[in-house]
């Protein structure tokens, strides 16, 4: 079977690693897999799968178009036409979409091809962008305009940032494009997102839930010298990990927590910028974003508690990665974040309740760590995850 995946990145960050996890398993089983991507660099080991869409300069032009005209997803016309020409020559059996936003694809050109080709299409939604007129998440502001038709977007200045509001036009154009493909299976990593899709204009599609899986050969209890390197051998470590930190990921809440905890605790944040490092208090350690998964597994293992105070999320793989490394997780009750945490004996607290977060941390640190049993590990394994996708691929070919 020939499988083509399309995502904004390849082999890095959560969605990029999901794609390469799938690719590696299918490759070992004898399938031909390619990952078309639009942004950033690809780790050397994954370059055999990678197919670049457009150029870095084209991404910048698309981003400018989005800023000026609220046109995210409607630029990159030439790059998309060239990519479609390559797709036709590759002639995949299955086309598996992931994040198709990110200033690298023209969605109307892409979906015109998907409609005409009549190939089976599987689309994994990692956020809500597919059924809104602008934003990728709306939970933070409590917006429900997407149910009937977006207008007067309250988040035009958030990703994908724009100086004007054309959310109504975007909503209509996206609805027209995304509902044009007959053989389309929508996959969500959480039941929370699946329920939202069923209230959107994508409700007529087949909507399935496949929880994200992770590579347990990478994310497992891992030795290292993190405590010694940072002179925190005797401290309790609270860890937060994000690709991009901001208020919605809970950066401000970590700052508040740092003022509430006693000196026996240290907060470690992975993924902070140099500017954010300057805002960290003395009991906080900031680490730039890393795509070194072994290093990340060691930091997860070292931590006493993984803290995920996200205000809007789908089914964050960082929760699973921490759990697989033996570290308990506490998160806000928002989006799909609690779904994995509850299953593996973690803890959830009301969104924005920093006092409850701190009290939960005290409880989890007193309880210590635990080793997952085989059934728990198998449930989050990438092999179990890919097997579910393979079943979906086979079923979609028979429609």
Neighbours of 26 (CB within 10 A): 20
**pLDDT score for 18:** 94
Note the helical H segments in 96-242: 107-117, 167-178, 191-197, 226-229
pLDDT band at 399 (very low <50, low <70, confident <90, very high): low
Contact 235, 266 (CB under 8 A): yes
**pLDDT tens digits, one per residue of 19-74:** 999 999 999 999 999 999 999 999 999 999 999 999 999 999 999 999 999 999 99
Mean pLDDT over each residue of the chain, to the nearest integer: 95
Fold exhibited by the domain 2-213+382-397:
Rossmann fold (3.40.50)
- pLDDT tens across 277-332, in order? 999 999 999 999 887 889 999 999 999 999 999 999 999 999 999 999 999 999 99
Q: Which CATH number fits domain 226-379: 3.40.50.10470, 3.40.50.300, 2.40.50.140, 3.40.50.2000?
A: 3.40.50.2000
Cα 239 from Cα 246, distance rounded (Å): 16
Domain residue extents for the chain: 2-213+382-397, 226-379
Q: Cβ neighbours of residue 393 under 8 Å, at least 6 residues apart?
A: 1, 3, 93, 94, 96, 120, 122
Looking at the chain, the whole-number percentage of residues with pLDDT higher than 70 is: 100
Percent of the chain, pLDDT > 90?
A: 91
pTM: 0.92
The model's pLDDT over 363-388, given as tens digits with 9 standing for 90+, comes to 999 988 888 888 888 889 999 999 99
pLDDT for residue 264 is more than 80: yes
pLDDT for residue 370 = 81
Inform me whether the pLDDT recorded for 398 exceeds 80: no
Give per-residue pLDDT as tens, 341-354: 877 878 999 999 99
> Predicted confidence band at 125 (pLDDT cuts at 50, 70, 90)?
very high
Q: Could you check whether 2-213+382-397 and 226-379 share the same CATH topology?
A: yes
């Amino acid at each position: 079977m020939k499988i083509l995946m399309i995502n904004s990145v390849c082999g890095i960050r959560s969605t990029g690693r999901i794609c390469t996890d799938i690719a590696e398993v299918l490759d070992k089983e004898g399938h031909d897999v390619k990952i078309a991507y639009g942004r950033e660099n690809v780790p050397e080991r994954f370059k055999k799968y990678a197919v670049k869409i457009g150029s870095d300069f084209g991404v910048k032009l698309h981003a400018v178009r989005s800023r000026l005209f609220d046109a995210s997803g409607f630029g990159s016309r030439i790059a998309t036409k060239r990519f479609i020409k390559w797709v036709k020559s590759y002639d995949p059996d299955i086309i598996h979409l992931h994040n198709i936003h990110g200033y690298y694809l023209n969605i109307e050109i892409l979906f015109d091809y998907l409609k005409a080709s009549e190939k089976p299409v599987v689309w994994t939604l990692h956020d809500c962008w597919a059924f809104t007129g602008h934003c990728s998440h709306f939970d933070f502001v409590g917006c429900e305009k997407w149910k009937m038709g977006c207008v007067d977007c309250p988040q035009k200045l958030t990703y994908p940032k724009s100086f004007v509001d054309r959310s109504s036009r975007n909503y209509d154009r996206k609805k027209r494009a995304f509902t044009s493909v007959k053989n389309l299976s929508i996959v969500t990593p959480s039941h929370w997102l699946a329920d939202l899709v069923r209230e959107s204009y994508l409700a007529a599609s087949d909507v399935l839930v496949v929880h994200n899986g992770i590579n347990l050969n990478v994310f497992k209890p891992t030795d290292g010298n993190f405590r010694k390197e940072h002179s925190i051998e005797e401290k309790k470590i609270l860890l937060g990990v994000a690709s991009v930190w901001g208020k919605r990921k809970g950066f401000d809440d970590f700052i508040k927590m740092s003022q509430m905890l006693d000196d026996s605790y240290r907060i470690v944040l992975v993924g902070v910028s140099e500017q954010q490092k300057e805002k960290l208090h003395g009991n906080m350690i900031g680490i730039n974003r890393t795509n070194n998964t072994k290093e990340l597994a060691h930091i997860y293992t070292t931590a006493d508690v993984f803290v995920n105070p996200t205000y809007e999320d789908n089914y964050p793989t960082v929760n699973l990665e921490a759990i697989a490394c033996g570290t308990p997780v506490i998160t806000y009750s928002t989006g799909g974040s609690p779904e994995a945490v509850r299953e593996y004996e973690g803890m959830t607290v009301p969104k924005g309740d920093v006092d409850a977060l701190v009290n939960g941390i005290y409880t989890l640190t007193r309880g210590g760590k635990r080793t997952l049993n085989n059934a728990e590990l198998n449930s989050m394994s990438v092999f179990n995850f890919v097997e579910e996708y393979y079943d979906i691929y086979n079923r979609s070919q028979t429609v």
